[in-house]
Amino acid sequence: MISGSIDVLAVAFAVAAVIVVPVPVAAAAPPPRLDTYLVRMVNRMERKMEFDCDEWPDDFELRANGGDMNVTYETADRPGYDYLTPRVSCIWSYEGNYMSSVMIWDEEKWPEKKACLVGGGRRCELVFENKEEVLVVTTSSPAAPGTGSSRRVLGDLAVKDCSTHWYGHLLPWGAGCTYPSHDHAYAGTVHSTWTAAAMASTIGH
């Protein structure tokens, strides 16, 4: 009688195990693979520029006339999986000109994102030239030159012009400087000092 009950229980547990066990196994899929994106940043302007970013790659500078840096970002491009580095916002400084909220990577908003994927046959360059921040995508495949290439101005760089007036050098330094007219919205929020840019960036502007 007693042993009969134990057998029934054992069978019940065995059946339960058969039913229940496959469920957690199916749910425990391997974690999503991280995708690696590469953006080559290039400064084609005449003076060095400095960046102070809220995330990787943190603080760095790009030399004048071609200084570059290859920056990689790791993200998991899967629904329901948090982005590791969705966007990177920086303080940009160049020759006494400052902007906060200059984006150097935006996984959520850049349509070019896929082209920056390492091993995807295309390349992404973030070029600073002619007072513009430009995202350039090129195809490295010689079989299909030009395929998928694009060039998009992300924004203008606020660079004061101090030589517009003949009387400029009669004034105290900086007094004769103005921001020239420009075609696109600025790539960030313009500030007169680094400190002001740093304060704005801590409160998210």
Ligand X SMILES: *[C@@H]1O[C@H](CO)[C@@H](O)[C@H](O)[C@H]1NC(C)=O
Binding site for ligand X (CB under 6 A): 40, 68-70
Q: d(Cα 71, Cα 62) in Å, to the nearest integer? A: 12
- Which distant-in-sequence residues (6+ apart) come within 8 Å of 112 by Cβ? 124, 135, 137, 150, 152
Nearer to ligand X, 40 or 87 (CB): 40
Kindly report whether the peptide bond that precedes residue 180 is cis, defined as omega within 30 degrees of 0.
Answer: no
Give all strands (DSSP E) within the chain, no chain letters: 35-43, 49-53, 59-62, 67-75, 87-94, 97-106, 122-129, 132-139, 150-156, 189-191
Write down the least CB distance from residue 21 to ligand X, Å. Answer: 49
Write down the least CB distance from residue 83 to ligand X, Å. Answer: 24
Copy the structure tokens of residue 17. Answer: 């195990």
Nearer to ligand X, 141 or 192 (CB): 141
Copy the structure tokens of residue 157. Answer: 């760089």
Write down the least CB distance from residue 142 to ligand X, Å. Answer: 16
Write down the least CB distance from residue 89 to ligand X, Å. Answer: 22
Nearer to ligand X, 37 or 98 (CB): 37
CB 68 within 8 A of CB 145: no
Nearer to ligand X, 70 or 147 (CB): 70
Write down the least CB distance from residue 35 to ligand X, Å. Answer: 19
Among all residues, whose Cβ is closest to ligand X? 70
In angstroms and rounded to an integer, the radius of gyration of the C-alpha atoms of the chain is 27
Nearer to ligand X, 120 or 168 (CB): 120
